[in-house]
Amino acid sequence: MLSLRELYGESEMNIAVINFSGNVGKTTVVRHLLAPRLPESEVIAIESINADETAGLSAERMRGQQFGELQERLLSGGAVIVDIGASNVEDFMALMGEFDGSHEDFDQFVVPTVPAGKQQRDTVATISELQAYGVPASRIRVIFNMVDRVEHADMERVFEPIFACHEAHRSFTLSRTAVIHRSEIYSRAAAFGMSIDAILSDPTDYKAEIGQTANQAEKARLARLVSIRRLAGGVSAELDAVFKAITA
């Protein structure tokens, strides 16, 4: 079977990042995983609460009620990544039901989930709702987010509701390699207002600059950037593997 990349090409994919639950890392997935690997894509954040979460991202904000306008954008050509905030997801889903066939404008629905029980139940509900609207399993991709490395070997226990749903219904595509581990890089990068991609592409030699300044506060800031860059390198390779898993 052809992969999504072979069918659509990475630069042509329309992706919705969605979950009924908050606190699953939807914006993290958009900022650090998808946007850097789909550089020609336009990012649209649909959120009426916590509207500053996408600070530093080139993103346009759109309320869930403006679904008709969003649909026209998806049909006009070019790739779009839609970050659907929890405060707007119910409106988004209801409107997708009103516009018959509109789910077909998305090449993929990415559903991040985390180990917490409520978020997993909401993930299953999100998948069920997408299936009810006619979204095929091949276009619903789950990402296991904020996974403790120690618990990785016991994924089926940690994410038992997700694996049980897949076993019972096969209503989405599950990949055991679509795993983003818990890491302090995300909060540390946010503190600097940078994505992991921006950190790694910055050519500044921070270690050299440390030796050239006598200001202790500046030395500390530069040392933090050295540490963040070192963390970012390993996480970027992990995100490459996740991207490959969800577009295969």
51-106 pLDDT per residue, tens: 444 444 445 666 767 888 899 999 988 899 999 998 889 989 988 988 899 999 99
Residue 154: its pLDDT value, please?
95
**End-to-end CA, the chain:** 9
102-151 pLDDT per residue, tens: 999 999 999 999 999 999 999 999 999 999 999 999 999 999 999 999 99
Rounded to the nearest integer, the mean pLDDT of the chain is 89
How much of the chain, in percent, has pLDDT values that exceed 90?
Answer: 74
Of residues 231, 133, 125, the one with CA closest to residue 182: 231
Residue 52: its pLDDT value, please?
46
User: What single-letter amino acid sits at 219?
Assistant: K
Residue 77: its pLDDT value, please?
86
Across the beta sheet with 108-113, the strand order is 59-61, 42-46, 80-84, 14-17, 108-113, 140-147, 179-181
Q: Which residue has the tokens 């600070």?
A: 55
Helix (H, G, I), strand (E, B) or coil at 117: helix
The total of other beta-carbon atoms located within 10 Å of residue 183's CB is 17
Banded pLDDT at 6 (limits 50, 70, 90): low
159 and 96, same domain (yes or no)? yes
CB-CB contact of 181 with 238 (8 Å)? yes
Residue 11: its pLDDT value, please?
56
Banded pLDDT at 1 (limits 50, 70, 90): very low
125 and 161, same domain (yes or no)? yes
192 and 99, same domain (yes or no)? no
77 and 105, same domain (yes or no)? yes
Of residues 9, 56, 69, 1, the one with CA closest to residue 37: 9
Residue 32: its pLDDT value, please?
96
- Structural domain for 95, as ranges: 4-184+237-247
93 and 211, same domain (yes or no)? no
Interatomic CA distance for residues 228 and 220, integer angstroms: 12
Weakest-pLDDT range from 7-16, 83-92, 181-190: 7-16
Looking up residue 23, the CATH number of its domain turns out to be 3.40.50.300
Q: Per the structure, how many domains does the chain have?
A: 2
219 and 137, same domain (yes or no)? no
Interatomic CA distance for residues 96 and 94, integer angstroms: 5
